[in-house]
Amino acid sequence: MRKLSVLVLVLSGLLLCTATAQTPLVRLAIPTTERALTPYTYNTGFPGWYLLMLIYDALMITDLDGVPRPWLAETVQVSADGTTWTLTLRQNVRWHDGQPFTAADVKFSYELYQKVTHPRFSGPLRGVTIETPDARTVVLKLSAPSPTFDLTLADTPIVPKHIWERAQDPKTFENPIGTGPYRLTQIVPDQFYRLEANAEYFAGKPRVDTLVLPIIRDATATFTALQAGQIDAATRTLTPELVAQFQARPDIKVISGPGFVTTLLLFNNERPPFNDPRVRRVIAGVISYAELVRTILLGFGKVGSPAFIHPDSPWYNSNLSGFPRLTVDQARQALEALGFKDSNGDGVREFPDGKPLQFVLLTRSGDPVRIRTAELIAQAVKPIGIVFDVRALDSDTVAQLVWPDFDVCKGRNYDLAIWGWSAPVMTKADVRGLFHSDCKLGTLNVVGYANKALDALLDKQAQAVNREERKRLLDEIQKIVAEDLPFLTLFYPDLIFAVRPAVYDGWAFLKGEGIIHKLSFVKR
Amino acid sequence: MRNVPNVIGLTLFGVLGAIAIFAPAPYDPHERVGTPFQPPSPQHWLGTNDIGQDIFSEIIHGTRTSLLVGVLAAGGALLIGTVVGVTAGYAGGVVDAVLMRLVDVVLVVPFLPLMILLAAYLGPSLVTVIAVIAALTWARPARVIRSQVLSLKTLLYVEAAHAVGGGFWYVLRRHIVPAIVPLAMAQLVTVASSAILIESSLAFLGLGDPVQKSWGTVLYYAQARGAFLTGAWLWWVLPPGMLITLSVLSFALMGYALEARANPRLRQH
């Protein structure tokens, strides 16, 4: 038996632990309704799930570096083969109604998600059996080792058995009793939510007594309200062009940090010439990633890694050498050598059969940052004799061409596209989804990339017995991907938030995910 | 004195037309010529946009797109409108009834929502925008032209031409078409001004072609990149807005003057 962690969140050294005074009220604007804010009724991944976790707790919690630590559990132990996880629960934890929290609640919750399908919580719990030898011990048996199961333990909220076993239909059940730092005391539909601090919280009374979450749909209205002092913070992120103006104000503080959302250039790996990694490397070599970040994000972002994984992710291989760098002349020579010549002298190269190297670069019309990115990339490849025609289509049409019905097995119909994956893909480092050639496993492999040698490594890392073994395999995988470049990870936009520090300044930045999460409110 | 609006309208149109044709822009509007989000300076009279393109040059080149859309969409609408109006008026009977009910339908269709739907469905491109505008604005010219044809048809000299054996095409060419040209010109100008407004609205909503430089796309990027929250609206939003107003004004003034000439009832004595 190896101890995953026996430490109880020794984080305080990292953080600003100045203010111990209580803040009476923080008004935090959210962009849309989250319905009843229970595990089956909340609406959005961000901020919905993070708000849900103010009311509910999970067995583990990710610390500010994104590494899971015990939370409702006191200790988490994994067997040597990686399939048996034994958790000892914390004592004296109570539900908001005063009932004690026990192992029966854990068993009930996990089996509920297995029985009643939930888009987020059900999948990772498939094939897991739950045993409760006593009221404080939970034994989870997995059908195969899963090195990211601790992330599942940190992701899945526990609901009270004594209340939810009465629920007729869990999908519409609206009782908000949890073990979390806040109790939900009022919902005015489409207007606001009111959360009151749980004074009996096991990790100490939260630092803000009352949280009011007004719903403000429009971005301009949100930031006007912040400037006017009508709200104290917003879950909506600030765009780079507004940072200077907000930083100049003494009453507003701008908090920024790495974000795990990606912006990618997809090559259709099944269509010539993008089926040839040498062509992909030439294109990768003439794009200036630093200039993209400087021009489009005004510096508020990180240059992409050739193998997708963000440099601030615990899974990042820091020995990667980055994208290939080519001058225009070197790129031209490389294309000549590959047989792409400009035989009619019109400035555009042709395939050996005479077809010009002219392709459509798809992007979503509603997203100005991506349209601009596409324009800059088209400019970058023009001097080497390749034409990218930027075509902005509405987002559903782009999705249907790139990822028909969200099913990679249905193929793809595009040359090039600007694309992006949301933060959870990075948090889990879902490399098998991104790169596996079997469309049943490579569920995010929208470029149609296939590399048999890599497939074996991808299967191995998915069933590694522990984080260390998985990290070693991921390092190898990243090396291969950085060579093959099935798609280009252009940049990672930073997450930028604006708050009124005079009202509350206890915000903590969780790497890649931002400041809206439990650790911004509980004593750390 | 009553020529003054016409002169103002023609002058404005002449100036805008010259800008569209010669495009006297200091920079290539697709070239990045400075750091992004610069305020106005001697180098960049209206500053730079979100990727460092010169806003002044963008607006100059945008004139081309906006006028092109206005003229082409209006031309298309007028072509459909004339064919439908002349056919309905001249043929009468069932044909007239069917065509006029179609006109009624197009006239009462909730205009902007349908426009947005069509633009989104067909995908953003200049051709789509022109086609969509033409397809939704031909009904009014059709109406006006039909009533003119109806009254022409009963005139003595037209009936006389029929009586001496003039066929449909002969009468159409000799008597009907020349009589409706002035009216059609007035309609062309009216439709053109609304086409420019519609193109700008669609582009502003992000339903135009965002890669094409037009007044509407300049406004779209200004809105999307926070110009309304910072002081940038002064040089990023106001100038294209003024140009849209001026072009619509010039068309409206020309339209009044033409209509006053073409429509005897509006002729002042």
CA distance A221 to B255: 40
Q: Is the pLDDT of residue B140 over 60?
A: yes
- What is the chain A residue with the closest CA to B220? A368
Nearest to A392 by CA among B224, B69, B192, B32: B224
Average pLDDT estimate for B183-203: 89
* Long-range contacts of the stretch B113-121 (C-beta < 8 A, 24+): B115/B198, B115/B202, B116/B202, B116/B205, B116/B207, B119/B202, B119/B207, B119/B208, B120/A394, B120/B207
Nearest to B221 among A368, A394, A397 (CB): A368
pTM, to two decimals: 0.82
Nearest to A263 by CA among A446, A493, A426: A493
CA distances, A362 to each of A108, A154, A371 (Å) = 46, 37, 9
Q: What is the CATH number of domain B53-268?
A: 1.10.3720.10
Confidence at B171, pLDDT banded by 50, 70, 90: confident
Query: What's A30's DSSP letter?
Result: B
Q: Regarding beta strands A73-78 and A301-303, do their DSSP bridges make them parallel or antiparallel, or are they unpaired? A: unpaired
Averaged pLDDT score across all residues of chain A: 92
3-state SS class at B3: coil
> Which of A112 and B227 is assigned the larger pLDDT?
A112
To probe the interface with B, which of A237, A245, A363, A365 has the most B CB atoms within 10 Å?
A365
Task: State whether A393 and B209 contact (CB < 8 Å).
Answer: no
Supply the pLDDT for residue B32. 87
Structure-block tokens of residue A485: 């470049």
Supply the pLDDT for residue A392. 86
Task: Give all domains of chain A, ordered by start, each with its CATH number.
Answer: 2-14+36-177 (3.90.76.10), 263-493 (3.10.105.10)
Nearest to B123 among A295, A298, A393 (CB): A393
Average pLDDT estimate for B226-233: 84
CB atoms within 10 A of CB A186: 11
Q: Is the pLDDT of residue A18 over 60?
A: no
Establish if A392 touches chain B: CB-CB under 8 angstroms: yes
Q: Is the pLDDT of residue A334 over 90?
A: yes
Nearest to A299 by CA among A349, A339, A256, A235: A256
Q: Is the pLDDT of residue A9 over 70?
A: no
CA distance A437 to A449: 6
What is the b/e burial string over A400-437, where b = at least 16 CB atoms within 10 angstroms of the residue's CB?
Answer: ebbbeeeebeeebebbbbbbbbebbbbbbbbbbbbbbb
Nearest to B210 by CA among B197, B224, B196: B224
Q: Which of A76-80, B82-86, B196-200, B222-226 has the lowest mean pLDDT?
A: B222-226
Task: Count Cβ atoms within 10 A of the Cβ of residue B163 and give its class: 0-12 exposed, 13-18 middle, 19 or more buried.
Answer: exposed
Task: Kindly report, residue by residue over B45-86, the tens digit of the pLDDT.
Answer: 999 999 899 999 999 999 999 999 999 999 999 999 999 999
> Which of A72 and B205 is assigned the larger pLDDT?
A72
Domain ranges of chain B: 53-268
Positive or negative CA dihedral for A473, A475, A477, A479?
A: negative
CA distance B268 to B77: 29
Supply the pLDDT for residue A20. 56
Chain B CB contacts of A223 below 8 Å: 229
CA distance A341 to A335: 7
Residue identified by tokens 């080519």 is A326
% of chain A with per-residue pLDDT over 90? 83
Averaged pLDDT score across all residues of chain B: 87
Supply the pLDDT for residue B127. 87
| DSSP structure string for A479-513 | HHHHHH-SEEEEEEEPEEEEE-TTT-----PBTBT
Task: Kindly report, residue by residue over A146-204, the tens digit of the pLDDT.
Answer: 988 999 999 999 999 999 999 999 999 999 999 999 999 999 999 999 999 999 999 99
Structure-block tokens of residue A489: 């990870």
CA distance A214 to A226: 12
Supply the pLDDT for residue A193. 97
Q: Is the pLDDT of residue A16 over 70?
A: no
CA distance A244 to A229: 18
- What is the chain A residue with the closest CA to B117? A394
Confidence at A7, pLDDT banded by 50, 70, 90: very low
Nearest to A242 among B220, B224, B230 (CB): B230
